[in-house]
Structure 1
Amino acid sequence: MDRLKGKVALITGGGMGIGRASALRFAHEGATIVIAEKDTAAGEETVSKIRELGGEALFVQTDVTEADDVKNAVDSTVQRYGRFDIIYNNAGGSTVRDARVTDAPFEEFWSKIKLDLFGTWLGCRYGIQAMMDAGHGGSVINCTSIFALIGTHGKDAYTAAKGAISALTRSMAVEYSQYNIRVNAVAPGATATARVLKLLKEDNVTSKSLDGQLFGIIDPEHVAYAALYLASDESKSTTGHILSVDGGLTIS
């Protein structure tokens, strides 16, 4: 229960799904948690759950596509707790409007780039700066997708954004190693979140990908454990790594 004792972790999109599961897992392991979430009710509910477990948590209403919001979330973390150790850029997602590149609406492409890629870029921009200012290193965890690692149908906007996150992760791992900051990513397959469960009913691409997952749909808690490893000191020699939690999809 002490794998993150004394550390402060900021989690974007921590109000639900993988973000909430990770927040609860990190708190269970001793971390102080800041939930940066657009949905106020969801974010405050996660904070309440952490406090019920005896943990310390703060909610900061945050739209990750807005630079001022992300900077405020990081600044609020440092002001409240005096340190900044972990940022988990979890916020993101896809929709049924996505399609192959010749068919996808322009607005869907820019929406995915802004939410998934730019939101992650902003988290890294301000989160890494806070780690450099503190001078004690830290862990950056980005959320890409298994769709960024395989060929698939009908998700060209989403895969473009998530593929860019994978490349950005590797580049930043090299760039910031001199500050003892490691940068890694998790790449989940189809995971049992409310958003994905809804997509499975509406989106043929997501449902087909699930067919290739040898252990079926993934529990959000299993992604949280992968993120926990990357957040903890156990991964001090791991950087630039994309950790797949895909139920064997990439080998099936």
Structure 2
Amino acid sequence: MPRLEGKTAFITGAAGGIGRAICRRYIEDGARIVAADIDADALEDCLKEAGAGENGHAHVCDITDPESVKAAMAATVNRFGALHILCNVAGGSSPADGRVTEAPDEEFWRVIKLDLYGTFLCCKYAIPEIARAGGGSVVNMSSMAALMALTERDCYTAAKGGVASMTRSMAVEYAPDKIRVNAIAPGLVMTPRAERIMKEREEIRLLADIHLLGPCQPIDIAEMAVYLGSDEARVVTGQVMSVDSGVTIHGGAQ
């Protein structure tokens, strides 16, 4: 039996490299998905690539806008009858990030709003629906930046550290509702955006070299998202799961 049979998942950042991989693997494992992003054309392409058919629905959603998120959750339940899994994938840093003494204020607030507040809002409006469905799973996206000293990324580090901490507190708060809350902390993932950033920033190219098994691929993160969404992880909650090719242990030893 497919591991996600009968489950409905709401996946943010679905048009990006990691989001697309998660959408594809969720469909392959029997889930119905609502793929959410701000790019309508990219969402349709994502669903076609995943072979979603009637088990997939594209929903344009700005995760930093409470009304947009509320409408998206309502549309999910209206379409598929229930919500069981929330995957908060949307986020990301930019070349504008840097040391705390040099990073622009606007970059700090951009990352906090997208990565941390966006995760907060999606949890705020998805968790009641997951509880009504009898329980399920929240899969947040933290980062190696929350677990190791990653220089020149202080805005992103702050946001992803916040996601990790919020994951732990929510795991305790919503356990009575049979909702598991975990986060994935990826290492360097070779998405098209990451490849562009590597060309612009020497420190990112150097970071790739200390991944013990080479940089991660989007499918590596998707496989962990399938596990955390499935009943196989029924007693796993409050964890920040590193999928990082060993960079957080090896990088810290440099």
CA contact (8 A) 2:47 2:53 kept: no
Q: TM-score, normalised to structure 2's length?
A: 0.96
1:154 aligned counterpart, secondary structure = coil
* Aligned residues with identical type, % of pairs: 46
Match of 1:79 in 2: 78
Tell me how many residue pairs correspond in the alignment. Answer: 250
Deviation of 1:206 after TM superposition, in Å, equals 2.1
Is the partner of 1:130 in helix, strand or coil? helix
Check the 8 A contact 1:65/1:119 in 2, yes or no. Answer: yes
Instruction: Select which of 139, 145, 148 maps to 1:147.
Output: 145
Q: 3-state DSSP class of the match of 2:30?
A: coil
Task: Read off the aligned partner of 1:200 and give its amino acid letter.
Answer: M
Decide whether the 8 Å contact of 1:140 with 1:184 is kept in 2: yes
Post-superposition offset of 1:16: 2.2
Matched residue, 1:175: 173
Alpha-carbon offset, residue 225 of structure 1:
0.2
Residue of structure 2 in register with 1:38 after alignment: 38
Q: Which residues of 2 match residues 1-252 of structure 1 at below 5 A?
A: 2-50=2-50, 52=51, 56-134=55-133, 136-252=134-250
Please say if residues 185 and 242 of structure 1, whose CA atoms lie closer than 8 Å, have aligned partners that are also in contact: yes
Please tell me whether the aligned partners of residues 27 and 55 of structure 1 are also in contact (alpha carbons under 8 angstroms): no
Shift of residue 92, structure 1, vs aligned partner: 0.2
Alignment CA distance shift 1:161-1:2 (3 Å): same
Q: Would you identify which runs of 4 or more consecutive aligned residues in structure 1 move more than 4 Å?
A: none
Q: Is the 8 A contact 1:28 1:55 kept in 2?
A: no
* SS of equivalent residue, structure 1 residue 3: coil
Deviations 1:52-83 (A, max 9, x none): 36561000001111111111111100011111
Deviation, structure 1 residue 132: 2.0
Alignment RMSD (CA, Å): 1.1
> What's the CA shift for 1:204?
2.6
> Deviation digits for residues 162-199 of structure 1, max 9, x if unmatched?
00000000000000000000000001111110111111
Which blocks of at least 5 consecutive residues in structure 1 are unaligned?
Answer: none
Which secondary structure state, in structure 2, belongs to the residue aligned with residue 182 of structure 1? strand
The runs of 5 or more residues in structure 2 that have no matched partner are none
Give CA deviations for 1:73-115 in whole Å, capped at 9, x if unaligned: 1110001111100000000000010011111100000000000
